[in-house]
């Protein structure tokens, strides 16, 4: 292996000089060149930008992909420059399971048909989520990652170079100060044996030797000052570019919010369509404040209300519930799954786990049955019942 011995020795000497200067600064034994206030503000602003960008980036990753194993897998595929295998997300998988369950239970049953509708909605929600994740990764995560792995690494590299140039500058200042002090002492009290630098010939006077040393140290100081000023200007320009980074991240943040808005709007529309299919309407809580659930049971849709279209259909019908008579055949027993409070006198209130007799009459909506309990009678929602016979 080919070694450049001179360069190796020179680099080792520079490293040792910097280490001595750095140690002296830490112990307060040597002077340190301070940066101007504006430069310090730029450094502080850059550090703050890096720290908060890193936190926002990491937390956004957690928001978009809560599974840490999946995040690690995506990171490895990205580093290997390979495409992450496409897999169904949780919503798509849930929808698939629901539709498979409907096939097993029977798509013609109330539960099976509802599973099909809900499963299809969940799959659409999963597709919307997939699109949102892809959009957010491109429009928001990628720019943040590019800053952390690109611009910030360049800034950090130039800052390290600037710190090295400062150490060199302060070492040159200390060397010049020391040489001037030795020169003044040699001029005042000549002592050839004690004041002579070890590498000079014995015939030279101490004063002349130290004058030469002062000139050499002054030249090194001028070179170090020039290199420091040049590196400080390069670093300053990079730090001032943080303002442009903020503008870029602001634009990306707006795109992220727009992607979230579109995603949640799409989810709302899917759920609204599902509620219509199930005979529900979106503003159920505001539209029917009188409906509530007792503590004995809970509805599969929280405090869901009765179908609006079904209620209006019966109200506009000439059929009167008190005039309805049970058919000779076709009555069935049903177990009540959840508590239900009647919205009006045409409906029958229910208690979870009780048994009632149910039947249908011509002209009644398929989401409703007529229920009887003793001498009480009224309309009851099918989704609150389990038909037994």
Q: Pairing mode, if any, of strands 355-359 and 368-373?
A: antiparallel
Q: Please tell me whether residue 389 adopts helix, strand or coil conformation.
A: coil
Find how far residue 90's CA is from the centre of its chain: 18
Which residue, among 229, 240, 120, has the nearest Cα to 168 in the 3D structure?
A: 229
Q: Please tell me the predicted confidence (pLDDT) of residue 228.
A: 93
Which residues of the chain fall short of a pLDDT of 70? 1-11, 13, 84, 187-207, 280-320, 322, 328, 389
Q: Which pLDDT belongs to residue 2?
A: 53
Here the tokens at position 54 are 């890193």
Cβ–Cβ < 8 Å for 378, 306: no
Residue with tokens 């229910």: 350
Q: Which two tokens stand for residue 299?
A: 């509805």
The domain over range 31-188+207-280 is classified in CATH as 1.20.1270.60: yes
Are 31-188+207-280 and 332-388 equal in CATH topology?
A: no
Q: Where are the alpha helices (DSSP H) in the chain?
A: 5-26, 37-64, 68-79, 90-105, 110-136, 142-146, 152-188, 192-195, 206-240, 242-277, 284-287, 308-316
Q: pLDDT per residue over 143-198, tens digit each? A: 999 999 999 999 999 999 999 999 999 888 888 888 888 777 776 655 545 544 44
pLDDT at position 304: 42
Spatial contact of 14 and 168, defined as CB atoms under 8 Å apart:
yes
- Name the E strands within the chain: 332-336, 355-359, 368-373, 376-381, 385-387
pLDDT at 277: 84
DSSP letter string over 46-78? Answer: HHHHHHHHHHHHHHHHHHH---HHHHHHHHHHH
- The residues near 290 (Cβ < 8 Å, ≥ 6 apart) are 341, 343
Radius of gyration of the chain (CA): 41
Read off the tokens for 67: 């599974």
The neighbouring-strand residues paired with 357 are: 333, 372
Are the beta carbons of 357 and 371 closer than 8 angstroms? yes
3-state secondary structure of 170: helix
Cα angle 368, 370, 372; round to 5: 140
Token pair of 199 as six digits: 């590498």
Tokens of 349: 């209130």
Give the separation between CA 144 and CA 52, rounded to whole angstroms.
Answer: 11
Architecture per CATH, domain 332-388, reads as Roll (2.30)
**Residue ranges per domain, the chain?**
1-29, 31-188+207-280, 332-388
**pLDDT single digits (tens) 234-266:** 999 999 999 999 999 999 999 999 999 999 999
Element spanning 282, H or E: none
pTM, to two decimals:
0.61
Q: How many C-beta atoms surround the C-beta of residue 281 within 10 A?
A: 16
Cα torsion 55, 60, 66, 68: sign = negative
Assign residue 251 a region (left: φ > 0; alpha: ψ between -120 and 50; beta: otherwise): alpha
């Amino acid at each position: 292996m080919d070694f450049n011995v001179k360069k190796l020795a020179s680099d080792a000497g520079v490293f040792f000089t910097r280490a001595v200067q750095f140690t002296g600064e830490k112990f307060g034994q040597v002077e340190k060149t301070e940066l101007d206030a504006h430069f310090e503000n730029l450094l502080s602003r850059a550090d703050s930008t890096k720290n908060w960008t890193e936190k926002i980036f990491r937390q956004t990753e957690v928001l978009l992909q809560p599974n840490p194993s999946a995040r690690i897998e995506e990171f490895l595929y990205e580093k290997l420059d390979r495409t992450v295998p496409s897999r169904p997300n949780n919503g798509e998988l849930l929808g698939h399971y629901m539709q498979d369950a409907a096939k097993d239970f029977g798509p013609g049953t109330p539960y099976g048909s509802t599973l099909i509708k809900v499963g299809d909605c969940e799959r659409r929600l999963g597709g919307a989520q997939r699109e949102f994740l892809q959009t957010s990764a491109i429009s928001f995560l990628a720019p943040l990652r590019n800053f952390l792995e690109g611009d910030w690494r360049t800034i950090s590299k130039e800052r390290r170079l600037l710190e090295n140039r400062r150490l060199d500058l302060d070492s040159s200042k200390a060397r010049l100060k020391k040489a001037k002090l030795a020169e003044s002492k040699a001029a005042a009290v000549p002592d050839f044996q004690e004041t002579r630098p070890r590498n000079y010939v014995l015939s030279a006077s101490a004063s002349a030797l130290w004058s030469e040393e002062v000139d050499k140290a002054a030249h090194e100081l001028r070179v170090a000052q020039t290199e420091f000023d040049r590196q400080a200007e390069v670093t300053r320009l990079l730090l001032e570019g943080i303002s442009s980074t903020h503008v870029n991240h602001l634009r990306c943040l707006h795109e992220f919010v727009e992607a979230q808005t579109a995603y949640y709007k799409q989810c709302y529309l899917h759920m609204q369509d599902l509620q219509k299919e199930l005979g529900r309407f979106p503003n159920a809580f505001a539209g029917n404040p009188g409906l509530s659930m007792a503590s004995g049971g809970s509805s599969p849709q929280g405090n869901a209300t009765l179908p609006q279209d079904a209620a209006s259909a019966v109200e506009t019908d000439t059929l009167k519930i008190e005039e309805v008579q049970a058919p000779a055949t076709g009555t069935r027993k049903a177990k009540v799954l959840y508590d239900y409070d009647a919205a009006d006198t045409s409906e029958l209130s229910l208690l979870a786990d009780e048994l009632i007799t149910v039947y249908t009459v011509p002209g009644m909506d398929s989401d409703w049955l007529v229920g009887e309990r003793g001498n009480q009678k009224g309309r009851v929602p099918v989704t609150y019942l389990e038909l037994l016979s």
